[in-house]
């Protein structure tokens, strides 16, 4: 029994190594694609956060600096 197994293994060792290499390559590619998807989601989320912060900064720059400016804007309807 053992001799039969070793003879089969010695005849098919390269084939098994090849299939193992193919399986490892496919697994590596799938894991790489998964990581790339996560990175893309993180990038999109970061860009949304940056846009919101920029909008907040622009709103701060356009805000009235004194009470008089605030009153003028409220009277003119430009607030």
pLDDT digit string, tens, across residues 54-74: 999 998 898 888 999 989 989
Instruction: Quote the distance between the C-alpha of residue 44 and its chain's center.
Output: 7
Contacts of 73 (CB under 8 A, 6+ apart): 64, 79
d(CA 46, CA 48): 5
Task: Break the chain into its structural domains and give their ranges.
Answer: 2-76
Rounded alpha-carbon distances, angstroms, from residue 46 to 30, 58, 72: 24, 18, 37
Predicted pLDDT at 5:
77
Model confidence band, residue 3 (pLDDT cutoffs 50, 70, 90): confident
- Output 26 or 9, whichever has higher pLDDT: 26
């Amino acid at each position: 029994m053992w001799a039969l197994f070793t003879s089969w293994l010695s005849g098919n060792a390269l084939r098994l190594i090849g299939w193992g290499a193919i399986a490892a390559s496919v697994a590596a590619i799938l894991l790489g694609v998964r990581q790339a998807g996560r990175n893309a989601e993180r990038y999109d989320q970061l860009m949304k956060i940056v846009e919101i912060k920029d909008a907040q900064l622009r709103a701060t720059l356009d805000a009235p600096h004194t009470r008089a400016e605030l009153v003028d804007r409220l009277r003119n309807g430009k607030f």
